[in-house]
Amino acid sequence: MNRRTKISAVMAGIMGLILGLIIASSFDWTARSSAFDKAEQQKLHEQLQKAEPTAQAMNEIYRNVYKLVSPSVVSVVTEKAPRSPHRWRRELPRGWQRFFDMPDMPDMPNPSQKEVGEGSGIIVDEQGHILTNSHVVDGVDHGSGKIKVYLYNDKSCDAKVVAVDKKSDLAVIQIDASNLAPAALGDSSALQVGDVVAAIGSPFGLPETFSVGVVSALGRTSVDVISGGFRVQNFIQTDAAINPGNSGGPLVNMRGEVVGINTAIATRDGGNNGIGFAIPTSIAKPVLESLIKHGKVVRGYLGVEIMNINDAVAEHEGYASAKDMSEKLGLGGKTEGAYVHEVMSKTPAYKAGVMPCDVIAEYLGQPVKNVDDLRSRVMATEVGKKAALKVIRDGKPLELTVIIAEQPEAEKKAAEEGEEENAPSSNFGIVPEKLTPQLARKYGYEENEGVLIGSVEDGSAADLAGLKEGDCILAVNGKPVKTVKEFNDAMKTAEAHKKVKLRVHNSERLFDVLLKLGKQEE
């Protein structure tokens, strides 16, 4: 490069720099940066100082809630025999997995090792009763394992199971200890969306963990986090962090009152994604009292078969669509409420004058959202209590009064929807379940296609064959089955021969499987 070229390059650089400074100054970038560093930062600092008393007041509330409730919260550690080595086959995710605070099962667990589970609980009285989830103590509720409870002061106690209610996913265990700090159970019906709540428990085995969020929804039903056909569902939804190990711990309001029992999270990866579910105290309190007093849950009963108003039910009832059904029933196109398909004879609903094709719109003065909503509230109602019903009949509102009765023994086995109790139909280990319209939609089946597998017993012939919850059984030994009764009868007949051939369908394939009692070849 010659001397003239060098000078030209330097001059071009200087001119570029000058031009850049002129442009920068026209936009006032340097002045703006300087102003932000000084005046703006000072202004923000002064604003934060003014707001500090409000922030400190909120901090004080959080601290006091934690100090008040944390002595009532315990860590629950269970030890039990390992689950079947083949259980993993039926625990593979199907769609959007709901994670139940249980550790993932390894592919081939060591039979000599004990399976350890972790959860939380809340002390409810000075007699040492602790409320937790039934799935936290699952597998040790029949004396087949051990439960260790760790208190806030690092003391530990052995615990025994008092009673379990799997339909609400609640259980009561008890410890022998003194100087306990029972929690106050509050009124969950006073909650509103947006209320601040806190979750306390032992996520990932970290005791006394405190997380804060808000109530993000109320009255969540059909969440599919409690297995079985006859479930109690009316969840509080919250974004307070709930993780594996929080199950059974309290959700509390800013008065330090327990308003829910943390139960499950909706997740794709097993961790917190900002959607957690808690059983409200409106359900938990009567279950707790009944488990302690009776060793079981005494549930209220109406005596009706009820359905949600949707397209599948509308088609079943002879309507063109859910909207058509709603309009012809006089609901103005709305689908809220519980449609009465059938009224059982000599039941509380029958005596009160409830009729088929009625729509139960209100119960105890509160609107009925759907079947799960009504069912949960009826079951939580004290037996013998008079309850106001508002039904829509032929498009007109009608006020009725029903006297709630105790659920009959027969209904405990068949439940209000005519479904069988969650018990294996035979020694093959399959717990059948009626394929309702809701479950058919969930698993992608046609309604009345067969009988659903509600669950499978660990180590059973069905378990070893790889059958899992959500599979649909179409035929037993070549004979089609469409009801739980047909399935049970066929399986009992097959049990005498100690083997049975099933035709099974799921979202992936249609296949036949042979189940044998006794030792089964892999």
pLDDT computed for residue 484 by the predictor: 85
Q: Is 326 a catalytic residue?
A: no
Pairwise pLDDT comparison (272 vs 234), residue with the higher score: 234
Q: Which residues fall within 8 angstroms of residue 216, CB to CB, at 6 or more apart?
A: 193, 237, 238, 239, 275
**For residue 484, what are the contacts with CB-CB under 8 A and spacing of at least 6?**
419, 420, 425, 432, 433, 434, 451
**25 has catalytic annotation:** no
What global pTM score does this model have? 0.60
Rounded to 5°, the CA angle 341-217-273 comes to 115
Residue from 201, 184, 195 nearest 244 by CA: 201
- Token pair belonging to 353: 């004058």
Give residue-wise pLDDT tens across range 141-160: 555 678 899 998 888 899 99
pLDDT recorded at residue 251: 94
Q: For 460-482, write each residue's pLDDT tens digit.
A: 888 888 898 889 999 999 999 98
- Set out the domains of the chain in order of their start, with CATH numbers: 59-297 (2.40.10.120), 300-406 (2.30.42.10), 420-516 (2.30.42.10)
Which one is catalytic: 86, 129, 135, 505? 135
How many angstroms separate the first and last alpha carbons of the chain? Answer: 83
Q: Of 50-54, 132-136, 238-242, 389-393, which range is least confident?
A: 50-54
The predicted structure's pLDDT at residue 79: 83
- Identify the pLDDT of residue 144: 65
- In the Cβ-directed half-sphere of 360, how many Cα atoms lie within 13 Å? 39
Taking residue 84's Cβ as centre, other Cβ atoms within 10 Å add up to 19
Q: What is the pLDDT of residue 104?
A: 37
Mean pLDDT on 274-280? 88
User: Of the residues 247, 282, 326, 460, which is catalytic?
Assistant: 247
Residue type for 125, please?
A: D
Catalytic residue chosen out of the listed positions 141, 169, 239, 471 = 169
| Catalytic-residue membership of 70 | no
Of 418 and 267, the structure prediction assigns the larger pLDDT to 267
